[in-house]
Structure 1
Amino acid sequence: MTSQILDLVRRFKVLCERNPDKSEAVVAIEVLAQLHECSDVTTVQGLHDVMNAAIERMWKEGVSNLSVISACELFQRFITLATLDTVDFDECKRVLSERAQIFIRKVGSCRRKIAENSLNYIPNGSVIFLHSYSRVVLAALEYAASTQKRLHCYVTTCAPSGLGAKMTKALAKLKISCTLVPDNSLAYLMPQVDLVVLGAEAVVESGGILNMLGSSLIAMTASSFGRPVYVLAESFKFMRCYPLDQRHIPDEFKWSYDHECGSLSPSALLILRDGNNCLTQDENNCDFPEMKTAWADVEAQRVPVIEQKMPRVDYTSPCYINYLITDLGVLTPSAVSDELIKLYL
């Protein structure tokens, strides 16, 4: 079974490379459906275990980790809702396969629905501020342009990933007027902008989002200038997670997976001593065992911490978001928790 999972993970990577316009989450769901059909397990619990192992491996291989996690979790819950209705496993497996195909069809239509739902929120002649690269935002703008709406987009470079250049090229290919701008031009350009449109890697229970680093700053700046912020996100990105602020984002969401050492890559933390001397936490704890006391832990919380490596994503509070435009409809941030309950029940 391990070799079967590895084969499917390799297939996941190949499909992601061959279909750059398709979300990694959608590819992951299709791969899970294939795993379900070719699996030789004979119990529902065994099927769950195999799928969980495959999800973990795909999460480590995926580029957009958060959407892979949330989409696969929803997929598992959706297809297993009917498992208790029959005692015959072969019949149960057939029902699961049918539900898997239903879920894949639903997921495949998300972007089109979002594009249609967003049309009324993108007026003709709009100047739009964009951040990073988002397939669903691109699809919505393409749909708006197809209705003869004139648009101009300012796209941040999104350093250091440079995904803004990718977004600009995609917009230019669709013949949508766009300008690639530096990340630090935000305050200068905001008065000229009509609205801000963001994608999301995950929509959390509070109605806020986890998205590419810099999204929170853009939303805060837009709010201070009185510009609306619309977030476009598929419902399979709704995640049961409730960060209170940036520090409460789980580490597995903040950092990319390090394939060389086989673990998450956290930031290197420095502790300031007397304003001059800097010691890493590892040096401080490992070289002096007597420092590993409760009092030392308390003291460690009192000194400033400097992060030497920035995370991939940040948390945008719902207070800076006007509407979440999804395939379920146009939602206020406060309505997200209700939709999450519906999705996971």
Structure 2
Amino acid sequence: MPAPAFDVYNVYCRILDADHSISMPIAAILALTELIAHSSAGTMFELVSALNGGASILKTSAPNPISLSAGCELFIAFVTTFPHESDNFDDLKHELIRQGQQYAREASKSRSKISKLLLDFIPDESVVRFYLRLRSVSIAYGQQILTHAYSRVVEQALLHAYQHGNKRFSVYVTEARPLGLGVKTYESLTKAGIPCTVILDSAVAYAMEKVDLVLVGSEAVLESGGLANAVGSYQIALIAKAANIPFYALAESYKFHRTFPLSQYDLPTHHSKILSFPDPSIASTPIQASSGNLMSKDQLEYNPGVDYTKPDLITLVFSDVGILTPEGVSQYLVGMFTG
């Protein structure tokens, strides 16, 4: 009986389900290392072709391919340039697998490095404000910071600043519709003792006068120096710029992605259905009022989940490879992929 065909997307999903701390780019790299282990390729050309095929499957299967695309791109570039002096191709494949797995282990330290870099940029007695409509918390310390939706690197950076950096601040959390991911941020920070309050996405401009800095995570930092992140990030950056408030992006270097969008509609997540006009016959069935969501599932499909923040709106990018300007991200990417 022949062995079942290797399903790279199934492996990718299994890796994410097994460890929720693993990001999509790292899960993609680990899935591609397993693809190498199952590949019958006998030459580098065949192996790279197999990896490109696996990456293509991941990108077309995932609902949001931006972040994992960065991991695929990084790993395939590494394999392509890896020195292979060994006459035994199987030995080379084993070494590539080992290197991929080691990179994934090392990458787990990225958020800790970013947390330490950010410490000096969170003033003592500052307030971090995330937005989310829930119950409000009246306690606040000194200055204020804003973030959007849910980001593991932002979460870890704020917890580190509060628990180990002796910083005292409060947080506003965006509601982050339609998924309400700000709730997750709110619950995590509140549990750690950080005062938080939650506001509507539409109240960002209203609250900006109270904010001293903005922190957001990222799906990917792009070659333009711009940012792909949860929808709403762009409008927050615009408001912060108008109010002369620093807008900081936190991103692991494996999220640096060689994509150069000129507008929102150049993002790989954009498709013809977004912002089109649906048939009126499917636009009238709301989800239960108790959910707080006035849109039907069909209507939500006509809205973007990710937007593009232009580089001129970003003050700094905090990464495990250093604190970079948006122009510095472009230079780093050119150097990383040209050797």
TM-score by length of 2: 0.81
- Answer 1 or 2: which has greater strand percent: 1
**Unaligned ranges ≥5, structure 2:** 127-143, 281-299
Change beyond 3 A, Cα 1:318–1:177: same
Q: Is 1:236 the equivalent of 2:243? A: no
What corresponds to 1:313 in structure 2?
306
> Max radius of gyration: which structure?
1
* Conserved 8 A contact 2:217-2:249: yes
Change (3 A) 1:171 1:57: farther
What SS does structure 1 have at the residue aligned with 2:257? Answer: coil
Partners in 2 of 1:16 and 1:102 — Cα distance? 17
How many angstroms does 1:47 deviate by?
1.8
The residue correspondences of 1:182-331 to structure 2 (distance < 5 A) are 182-247=200-265, 249-250=266-267, 252-254=268-270, 266-267=273-274, 269-270=276-277, 309-331=302-324
Give the match for residue 51 of structure 1: 51
Mapping of residues 1-345 of structure 1, within 5 Å: 3-6=4-7, 8-62=8-62, 64-126=64-126, 127-147=144-164, 148-247=166-265, 249-250=266-267, 252-254=268-270, 266-267=273-274, 269-270=276-277, 309-345=302-338
For 2:174 and 2:181, locate their aligned partners in 1 and report how far apart those are by CA, in whole Å: 9
**Is contact 2:34-2:97 (8 Å) kept?**
no
How far apart, CA to CA, are the structure 2 residues paired with 1:155 and 1:205? Answer: 28
Q: Answer with 83-92 or 212-221: which moved more.
A: 83-92
Identity among equivalent pairs (%): 35
Provide the C-alpha distance between the structure 1 equivalents of 2:26 and 2:54, rounded to a whole number of angstroms. 15
Contact 2:249 2:314 in 1 (8 A): yes
Counterpart-to-counterpart distance in 2, 1:181 and 1:14 = 35
SS in structure 2 of the partner of residue 226 of structure 1 = coil
Maintained 8 Å contact 1:209/1:318: yes
* Whole-angstrom distance in 1 between the partners of 2:112 and 2:270: 29
Count of residues paired in the alignment: 299
**TM-score normalised per structure 1:** 0.80
Query: Could you tell me whether the CA contact under 8 Å between 1:133 and 1:166 is conserved in 2?
Result: yes
Equivalent pair of 1:187/1:221 in contact (CA under 8 Å): yes
Question: Which 10-residue stretch deviates more, 135-144 or 98-107?
Answer: 98-107
Counterpart Cα distance in 2 of 1:327 and 1:164: 24
User: Could you say what the CA RMSD is over the residues aligned between the two structures, in angstroms?
Assistant: 2.4
Higher helix share: 1
